[in-house]
Structure 1
Amino acid sequence: MSTPHAVSPEKRLFLKERELNALLEITQAINLDPTEDSLYKIFQFTLLGQLNIRRLVLYVKEENNWHCVVSFGAGLPDFRRIPLPEVVEQSCTGSPCAVASLKLSREWEKLEMVIPVVTNGEVLAYVLIGNVHEDYVNEEATKFLETLSNILIGAIENRRLARQRVEAAAIRKEIEIAQEVQTMLFPRNLPNDSHVAVHASYVPHTAIGGDYYDVVPIDAQRFLFCVADVSGKGVPASLLMSNFQAGLRTLLRQQAELGTVVSELNNLIYRNAVSEKFITAFFGVYNRATRELEYVNAGHNSAILLSDDNEHQLLSEGTTMLGIFEELPFLHTHRVQVPLRSLLLTYTDGLTEVFDEAEGEFGEEGVLAFLRQNKYLPLPVLHRELLNAIKEFNTKGASFSDDITILSCRFK
């Protein structure tokens, strides 16, 4: 910048009028509520037209990163492609700095002054100016530039905060709705009669989990039970699960066979899933009269059927996970006879994928060992004690890395 010189009263009045016009332009633009990009352009043309500032570069801090949003002036490179030098952050933290004093590279030599825009002790933006008219080079003028820049950046920051509040409120509402949807998916009543007792537990990892369980009467003797786990979490997972449940119940009302139910659900998920989502699931249909269990395991954890004499079967046969292929490459339904006083446990992988300090996994063996010692506990107590067991085993205590769903059937 050139050396300051004495300014006549007439010239001083003229400069103040220009400053007032610049201030009016900026405040009117803010009140018109344009986009952030439009505000930056108005700021650029206001400094050019009213204050005769010929070169302007503006860096703004967004999410702890510096972005150049204005790069204007003859002979300047496109600073949108050039990172803000660290020396600017280190040296210009409260008051304007001369560019020459910072010893920057040649691409910065046509700029003369760096003006930090500070709010609550934090620099939110840097205004770099060059080729300034000699009438507008004194300290008072620089102060006005600081004020004008503060008004602009403050308005944009307020808009950003307001937008974040609106977005956060929308997300909270989405989560609230998805939680309500997920709660409605779970059955209100579970079988408990002279033939069988069923109990379920659900421990979500996040506000909206990706697990699902259901128990649906088919007729006087048969009911279907299902445990499923959708890849991913949040609202998309919740919506996919609601489609899954609606499809499942519609097919059961149509008296579809279990193999048809699984095949049609695969087709439904394939058509409705986004971002390569898929579902693993275990489906079982129990007949009280024949004590026969028909099942399909669709890429899910093996259900454990534990007899009265501690012999066990792992129910792992069926098909692959749902939603990956338009048509399942194979599908087999299996039937097993259920012994008297046996226990069946189905669950999602959050139950077994728990690790101790030595990186040992609780795993299927841990679940089976627990069941052998505690199979006669009332089902609600058995679930509670099993969850306590994995909490004690887990290095993180009650903080699990995934949702946990347990559904158990005691066959009398």
Structure 2
Amino acid sequence: MPTTTPEKKLFLKERELGALLEITQAINQDHSEAALYRIFQFTLLGQLNIRRLVLYVKEEREWACMACFGAGLADFRKVELPSAITDTCNTVPCHLRDMLGLGPVWENLEIAIPVVQNGYVLAYVFIGNVYEDYAGEEATKFLQTLSNILVGAIENRRLARQRVASAAMRKEIEIAREVQTMLFPRTLPNDAAVAVHASYVPHTAVGGDYYDVVELDEGRVLFAVADVSGKGVAASLLMSNFQAGLRTLLRQKADLATVVHELNHLIFRNAGGDKFITVFFGLYNRATRELQYVNAGHNDPLLVPDSGPVQALRDGTIMLGVMDEVPMLNVGRVIVPPHSLLLTYTDGLTEVFDAAQNEFGEEGVLRVLRQTRYAPLRTIHSELLREITAFDQSGTGFADDVTILSCRFK
């Protein structure tokens, strides 16, 4: 390598200082990431006489070429970064001539400079010089420092955006959770005719289950248990819309069939068929002991009499929101014997699996009911939750929200 005179060293240091100044000014002026990569490219070309450069940056765990210029170079935006580089060049600059199997596309580049932060390689700068006036170990170290400043600034911006987005998402989830909590009734009936208890165990921060109990007048009470497809904020908002529609229809004294038809229209219009809701509605008349009900694609509620077989309440229609009109709607009717128990729930209660992939299922629910039939409702719920927790021998947890709403008819 030719001897560098003191005058030339000073000249090169001035050029390095100019390059450093340009990069730091560009960072402080809050340019876009694409603009910063272009400024980096032009700075190396103009200040340091770097004639060939390729910059790869790791984004979303994938390597992407962000800058590429120089005579005789391929379009590296279409070239995958070889594992021969990523596996071996992780700390200090590497000479490409020492690496095997890179192929002719890399022959006009000489040095790979890893940009390392906190032990991880964030970028690679590849240099190919035509002129020898800026070459050698000192030049490579400065290029590594300059690249570190640029890539580090861009990474810090990305992390800052992620923190802002995460904070916004946390706030959104917090609001959705508050909305969901407001949907649940604050008090449940417990009088001479009925006693009601509910349990809700969300699978995620914001679940898609919903239950409601509405006193229509002194003689009638409506039960509802629903499960919206999907989870999170979108599911919570759709369920909020569903509840608002339900309460409006009940204030208008709509019958059960009308309630189902109108809510189906509401969900279909708002979700466009992309989401649906399974729901069970039960309307109990304290005076006549008649329970009218509609099961819209939901898990079959279980009516357990004081004696005799358990009755699964299946009459109804398909899930709501799938079609503009619900087909073949059938409102079920049953006279409830004294001392009967009604158990309604969402599929999170039954879709629990043991290590052999056996499902807890409706049989598991019935087994617990046979053992706890006359226990307080709170105890029945606790036993059901305890049983499915024990059944989950694999320890993977529940795959969905668990909602239980039960009613004891006196």
TM-score band w.r.t. shorter chain: over 0.9
How do 1:108-119 and structure 2 match up within 5 A? 108-119=106-117
Counterpart residue type for residue 236 of structure 2: S
Contact 2:349 2:402 in 1 (8 A): yes
* Matched position secondary structure for 2:352: coil
* Matched position secondary structure for 1:48: helix
Distance, in Å, in 2 between the alignment partners of 1:278 and 1:326 is 12
Distance, in Å, in 2 between the alignment partners of 1:134 and 1:152 is 25
Distance, in Å, in 2 between the alignment partners of 1:336 and 1:344 is 12
The gaps in structure 1 that reach 5 residues or longer are none
1:9 aligns with 2:14: no
Correspondence for 1:21: 18
Once the two structures are TM-superposed, the CA of residue 10 in structure 1 deviates from its matched residue by 2.5
**Structure 2 CA distance for partners of 1:348 and 1:30, relative to 1, 3 Å:** same
How do 1:40-51 and structure 2 match up within 5 A? 40-51=37-48
Distance, in Å, in 1 between the alignment partners of 2:196 and 2:395 is 27
Distance, in Å, in 2 between the alignment partners of 1:379 and 1:312 is 17
Contact 2:90 2:114 in 1 (8 A): yes
Moved more, 394-403 or 76-85: 394-403
Return the TM-score normalized by structure 1: 0.96
Residues 118-166 of structure 1, C-alpha deviations (whole Å, 9 max, x = no match): 1122221100011343210121111110110000011011111111111
Distance, in Å, in 2 between the alignment partners of 1:336 and 1:356 is 35
1:82 aligns with 2:79: yes
Once the two structures are TM-superposed, the CA of residue 338 in structure 1 deviates from its matched residue by 0.6
Residues 81-140 of structure 1, C-alpha deviations (whole Å, 9 max, x = no match): 111111111221221111211132001111111111111222211000113432101211
Counterpart residue type for residue 303 of structure 2: L
* Matched position secondary structure for 1:53: coil
Equivalent pairs, count:
409
Distance, in Å, in 2 between the alignment partners of 1:275 and 1:116 is 50
Contact 2:343 2:405 in 1 (8 A): yes
1:368 aligns with 2:366: yes
Correspondence for 1:303: 301
* Matched position secondary structure for 1:114: strand
Cα RMSD, aligned residues only: 1.4
Distance, in Å, in 1 between the alignment partners of 2:354 and 2:13 is 72
Once the two structures are TM-superposed, the CA of residue 369 in structure 1 deviates from its matched residue by 2.3
Contact 2:184 2:212 in 1 (8 A): yes
Structure 1 segments of 4 or more deviating over 3 A? none
Correspondence for 1:59: 56
Match among 252, 277, 280 for residue 278 of structure 2? 280
Correspondence for 2:33: 36
Contact 2:280 2:293 in 1 (8 A): yes
How do 1:137-286 and structure 2 match up within 5 A? 137-273=135-271, 276-286=274-284
Once the two structures are TM-superposed, the CA of residue 309 in structure 1 deviates from its matched residue by 0.6
Counterpart residue type for residue 66 of structure 2: V
Distance, in Å, in 1 between the alignment partners of 2:142 and 2:130 is 14
Once the two structures are TM-superposed, the CA of residue 74 in structure 1 deviates from its matched residue by 2.3
Contact 2:273 2:323 in 1 (8 A): no
Identity rate, percent: 69
Distance, in Å, in 1 between the alignment partners of 2:174 and 2:258 is 34
Correspondence for 1:97: 94
Moved more, 87-96 or 239-248: 87-96
1:313 aligns with 2:311: yes
* Matched position secondary structure for 1:135: coil
Once the two structures are TM-superposed, the CA of residue 310 in structure 1 deviates from its matched residue by 4.1
Counterpart residue type for residue 26 of structure 1: I
Contact 1:310 1:372 in 2 (8 A): no
Distance, in Å, in 2 between the alignment partners of 1:82 and 1:398 is 41
Once the two structures are TM-superposed, the CA of residue 318 in structure 1 deviates from its matched residue by 0.5
Distance, in Å, in 2 between the alignment partners of 1:374 and 1:384 is 10
